[in-house]
Amino acid sequence: MSWIQSALFYHIYPLGLCNAPTENHGGEPVSRIRCIHDWIPHLKRMHINAIYFSPLWESGTHGYDTVDYTTLDRRLGTNEDLEVLCKALHENGIRIVLDGVFNHVGRGFFAFQDLLRNKEQSQYRDWFCNLNFGGSNRFGDPFWYESWHGCEELVKLNLRNDAVASYLERAILEWIDRYDIDGIRFDAADCVDRDFFRRIRRAVKSRKPDCWLMGELIHGDYAQWANPEMLDSSTNYECWKGIWSSHNDKNYFEINYGINRQSGQHGIYKNLLLYNFADNHDVSRLASQLKDERHLPLVYALLYAMPGIPSVYYGSEFALKAEKCKDSDWNLRPALDIHALCGERSSLCAFLYGLGALYAAYPVLHEGAFATVEVRNQQLVFRRGEGDSALYCVLNLADTQATLPLPISGDGWVNLFTDTAVEANGQIVMAPCSAAWIAKKIENAQEDTPALMAAERSEKKDCPVAESVSVSASTSEPAPLDPVREAIVQMLSADTLPVEQLAQQSGVSAAMIRQLLHGDGEPTIGMLQQLADAKGLQMKLLFCPKESC
């Protein structure tokens, strides 16, 4: 079985997360990308096993105006920084998919700069589509050219030119050889020459057979691009809309139709694993898109259970809000500090920790056939798999309880979200605005799966933040929490530094610091470490003990 079949993705927009300037003005590289190391413990707790990175390579602004396909954007650091990060992710069981922007380049791209200098005499004049020296453009160039959807900052490459295709092919193979990447997401795939995809597939699969190729597609028949000759998969924008609007409109018929059309008994994409998401760097955050935030857990229960490859956009596990604006997408791509986010505690994040553990533990979610059991306006029941190995996803978005059919037989069925037995009497009573996964319990399931919904509603657990982590981190002896906590509280009590200033210096929220001062709160070791660092204390606390996370 290919690794992609059990993949659980986390989508990061590095220029945003790492707080890079919005414009590249040159200068020495700044190693901002190193901050992603701090996210690894959190990703492992979510059971993430693959990351899709939006553009990393040298560009002028947002990353999609590439200037150099083989040099890490100087706003993020150096190629060596990227090598170290890729090695750390791989050591922690996390695969890496990079954004490949090959339809167009930025105006700073070396071949376009040569064209600006040498005009009709440029040796690169055939590298760009529909170049015409009979007019001008808004930049005042003595020529015009085809661009991406009329955006003249993005110059369309002539991918039918062998020199261009060879240049990009060499760059891609270097990504594989140097960073051991596991996949490529092709930006604007519907605009890219299809013979280019055939060529790149042959080159990539001969170098690394399990390297996954996924195209960004919004409309049309995904199978025109995702097929045995070209790409392995596609973004699933068709179901993206239904995932959230079926909740807003209280119409589960919409998403049920979409899933059946794609992956039902006669689904048109039954042989494809599509890339599913509830939000990303180009659309409004899920928490802003939904009319009722109580539906957030229901959406993710649906997303993880439907056929395809689930993905979480960075920060959305903390229910961050952001609406797509007309003039800029930077608000969708914010700088985030994982230490501060964990300090705030998120019930949704706690829910996704458990959901990820269940997704990893139940192979039927990766390969089981899809079948609708019951669909109503505000209720949906569907099944993955057959017989005793089946898993039922049950959703009730109504404000009243609902009795729904549940065609199970025999003993051993459990509501995996509450870790409670489910009687095989042909039906299940769902509480208002609730979700459930019903299956026979797997004995070796991860320890943080039980009572998942209960944890989401009440016990809001922190996420672990560690200074270093590896696959074998769990074997390390955890540091005792109580003596350390007591020492920190004493230190804070004797301090004259304003709480707000200490919060700014440490990254721990002012609210949590005040709770500590009053003897309340349950901080993680990582949080205590931040406070100690801010106060100049020497503490070697690497791992968050299980009981404090």
Cα–Cα distance, 22 to 1 (Å, whole number):
41
Does 545 have pLDDT greater than 80?
Answer: no
Predicted pLDDT at 28: 98
Report phi then psi at 148, rounded to 5.
-80, 110
Predicted pLDDT at 236: 98
The more confident residue out of 520 and 226 is 226
Architecture of domain 367-457: Sandwich (2.60)
Architecture of domain 477-548: Orthogonal Bundle (1.10)
Report phi then psi at 374, rounded to 5.
-155, 135
Among 208-217, 335-344, 374-383, name the one with the lowest average pLDDT: 335-344
> In this structure, which CATH number among 3.90.400, 2.10.260, 3.30.1490, 3.30.1540 belongs to the domain 107-158?
3.90.400
Q: Tell me the Cα Rg of the chain.
A: 25
Which ranges in the chain are annotated with CATH 3.90.400? 107-158
Which ranges in the chain are annotated with CATH 3.20.20.80? 3-106+160-361
Cα–Cα distance, 22 to 16 (Å, whole number):
8
> The whole model's pTM is what?
0.83
pLDDT digits (tens, 9 = 90+) for 19-36: 999 999 999 999 999 999
What average pLDDT does the chain have? 87
Which residue, among 210, 174, 179, has the nearest Cα to 87 in the 3D structure?
Answer: 179
The vertex-440 CA angle with 436 and 442, nearest 5°, equals 105
Predicted pLDDT at 527: 57
Which residue, among 237, 303, 305, 311, has the nearest Cα to 269 in the 3D structure?
Answer: 237
Predicted pLDDT at 153: 97
The more confident residue out of 520 and 99 is 99
For residue 490, what pLDDT band results from cuts at 50, 70 and 90?
A: low
CATH superfamily membership of 3-106+160-361: Glycosidases (3.20.20.80)
Predicted pLDDT at 44: 98
Does 286 have pLDDT greater than 70?
Answer: yes
Which ranges in the chain are annotated with CATH 1.10.260? 477-548
Predicted pLDDT at 263: 98
The average pLDDT across 347-365 equals: 97
